[in-house]
């Protein structure tokens, strides 16, 4: 089947035999046969070919809370999938075995139609593009997402926020929600350790919120790396002032992984300290992740319990058509 794409995912470089990939902000300039930083987008005869198209490496059915998205269809199931490859090089990646891999298993074939069919069969209400960076398989994701939308499913991007402005503009037509990592408040750390950039991620967050995509932000707290009071205050104030006090902030505990095996796991007291900083900045919804603590949603006006969660399960949902049942405040999210 051929798909009618509304955008071209690359452009020709003037007066040269290279193409410029438009999927992410690395804007890789690729000669014939060359592959981008992500390892999976290639210049093939002057056109951009996404090598992982139709070749997912991991597919699971999860609760939507695991993405983590707490203000979107609480308690619903989501079909989650990812491919190999990534445009970042995080030393603490929990899915490094697929994200830092570029060898594609072409024996696994799942067409966009089959992926949507699978989601419907599993009783999922949405599809999440996750596990590795979905921006790098955007042509595949979009073809799935457009069909999913026609069938009444929602689409979720779980991303490091390095999408190009062109892609963000294109996402508006089919992506409903995104969880974006804000990994640090130090641009040098982003560039050196992650091979990304802080300003670009901030720009993505602003653009997505302005475009009407429902956004939740996740910060994986690594003690001694990104948890200084100043950095946390700046992050919290950025979310509150640039994105909105209603934007949920997920503070997740780091556990040793990949190349960071010698680093201590994050203590609950660090998460609590960050939560207090977030509250001082005026954030209305702050959730702790990867630890056994209460992650319920309360009304910011009257403190009424709205959604009760046990682990990654929403066990009680008291929302009345997206409003608090007690004071009738409209609660932001996708309900």
Residue spans per domain, the chain: 10-50, 58-295, 301-335
Residues contacting 326, CB < 8 A, separation 6+: 299, 302, 304
Residues contacting 166, CB < 8 A, separation 6+: 7, 22
Starting at the earlier edge strand, list the strands of the sheet with 154-159: 58-63, 77-82, 126-129, 154-159, 177-181, 214-221, 249-253, 286-289
Model pLDDT, residue 293: 83
Of 280, 194, 277, 208, give the one whose Cα is nearest residue 242: 208
- Across-strand partners of 77? 63
Mean pLDDT by 10 residues, the chain (335 residues): 66 88 98 97 96 98 97 97 98 95 96 98 98 98 98 98 98 98 97 97 98 98 97 98 98 95 95 98 97 92 96 93 98 97
Cα separations in angstroms, 276 against 121, 142, 251, 281, 284: 42, 38, 11, 9, 11
Q: Rounded CA gap, 184 and 264, in Å?
A: 18
Of 134, 102, 82, give the one whose Cα is nearest residue 34: 102
Of 96, 81, 172, give the one whose Cα is nearest residue 128: 81
Structural contact between residues 227 and 270, judged by C-beta atoms closer than 8 angstroms: yes
Q: 0.85 exceeded by the pTM? A: yes
Model pLDDT, residue 5: 53
Domain 58-295 CATH class label: alpha beta
Model pLDDT, residue 6: 60
Of 274, 272, 208, give the one whose Cα is nearest residue 235: 274
51-75: buried (b, 16+ CB within 10 Å) or exposed (e) per residue? bbbbbbbbbeeebbbbbbbbbbbbb
Cα separations in angstroms, 29 against 5, 20, 47, 126: 22, 5, 12, 34
Structure tokens at 321: 């058509």
């Amino acid at each position: 089947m051929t798909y009618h794409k509304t955008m071209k995912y690359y452009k020709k470089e003037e007066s040269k035999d290279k193409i410029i990939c438009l999927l992410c902000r690395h804007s890789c300039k690729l000669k014939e046969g060359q592959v981008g930083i992500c390892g999976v987008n290639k210049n093939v005869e002057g056109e951009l070919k996404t090598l992982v198209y139709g070749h997912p490496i991991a597919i699971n059915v999860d609760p939507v809370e695991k993405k983590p998205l707490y203000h979107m269809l609480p308690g619903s199931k989501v079909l989650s999938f990812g491919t190999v490859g990534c445009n970042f090089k995080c030393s603490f990646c929990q899915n490094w075995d697929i994200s830092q891999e570029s060898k594609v298993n072409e024996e696994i074939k799942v067409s966009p139609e089959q992926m949507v069919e699978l989601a419907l069969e599993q009783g999922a209400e949405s599809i999440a593009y996750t596990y590795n960076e979905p921006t790098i398989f955007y042509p595949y994701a979009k073809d799935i997402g457009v069909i999913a939308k026609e069938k009444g499913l929602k689409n979720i991007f779980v991303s490091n926020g390095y999408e190009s402005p062109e892609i963000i503009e294109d996402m508006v037509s089919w992506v409903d929600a995104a969880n974006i990592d804000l990994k640090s408040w130090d641009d040098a750390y982003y560039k050196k350790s992650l091979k990304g950039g802080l300003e670009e991620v901030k720009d993505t967050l602003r653009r997505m919120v302005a475009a009407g995509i429902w956004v939740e932000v996740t910060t994986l707290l690594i003690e001694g790396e990104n948890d200084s009071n100043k950095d946390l205050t700046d992050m919290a104030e950025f979310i509150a002032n640039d994105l909105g006090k209603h934007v949920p902030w997920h503070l997740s505990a780091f556990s040793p992984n990949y190349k960071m095996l010698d680093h201590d796991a994050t203590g609950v007291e660090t998460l609590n300290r960050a939560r207090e900083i977030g509250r001082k900045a005026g954030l209305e919804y702050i959730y702790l992740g990867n630890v056994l603590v209460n992650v319920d949603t309360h009304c910011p006006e009257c403190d009424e319990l709205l959604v009760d969660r046990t682990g990654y399960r929403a066990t009680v949902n008291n929302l009345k058509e997206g409003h608090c049942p007690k004071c009738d405040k409209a609660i932001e999210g996708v309900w």
